[in-house]
Amino acid sequence: MADSNEPEEHRPGTTQDEQLLESPRADEFTHTDTWRVFRIMGEFVAGFDDLATLSRGVSIFGSARTSRDDPYYKEAQETAALLSQAGFAVITGGGPGIMEAANRGALEAGGQSIGCNIELPFEQKSNDYLTLGLKFKYFFVRKMMFVKYSLGFIIFPGGFGTLDELFEALTLIQTGKIRNFPVVLYGSDYWKGMLDWIRDWAMKEGKVTEADLKLLHLTDSPAEVVKIISDSQSSLRDLENDLISTQPSAANDR
């Protein structure tokens, strides 16, 4: 029988994230945080190395609890297939539900299908529709990969994890950490209540602005998702061309 006084950090099922976030309670545990930095660094390096050749990625988020007969599953699958046909790689959290639907759509359309899974107290098995699967111990390292290797986020109905990814992206855009990064909410019925709350309360109280709300695109159409992402890339190319054309030539510098 297990000793009930066994330290919490040694109990089965504890994740690396949980151990990192625990307050130190003894000197021996205080020192482990320093060494954990090297493990974190290694996870960043491995992720960067695995995804180094990826271009034109789009991340799709949504609930792991979405069943295969749910309309949103089918629509996520279709959205990912259309993105793949348009030349985009599809990135998800690599698990079931909406993640599986998106990876399945991408793979069956012949595209790149990437899953960035996460260590959890309960095992989240990677779905069977990946061309590349990665496993992370730390949420913040995994988030970095989603943002760094994506041209935009597609947010299907989901819970706290999905909302976390949504508001992380909005914060990074709002603070100028990332630019030209479309965030698409899929499912107007699902997201209407949240948008109404932002408009009726957060905006009215001056906590967010109309410009902040315009960072979000709302749609119920897989084809429109692809158009939003593609138009964003066209706008970026036009901006880059304008910047190049306004630069003084080397001859003028001499």
The answer to whether residue 29 is domain-embedded is: no
CATH number at residue 98: 3.40.50.450
The answer to whether residue 14 is domain-embedded is: no
By residue range, what is the domain housing residue 126? Answer: 59-240
The answer to whether residue 235 is domain-embedded is: yes
The answer to whether residue 104 is domain-embedded is: yes
The answer to whether residue 206 is domain-embedded is: yes
Distance CA 62, CA 72 (A): 9
What confidence score (pLDDT) does residue 235 get?
74
Amino acid, res. 110: G
Interval 11-40: pLDDT, tens: 556 788 887 887 766 556 546 788 889 899
Spans in the chain with pLDDT lower than 50: 1-10, 30, 250-251, 254
Predicted TM-score of the model (pTM): 0.84
The answer to whether residue 37 is domain-embedded is: no
What confidence score (pLDDT) does residue 230 get?
97
Q: What is the tally of structural domains in the chain?
A: 1
The answer to whether residue 45 is domain-embedded is: no
The answer to whether residue 43 is domain-embedded is: no
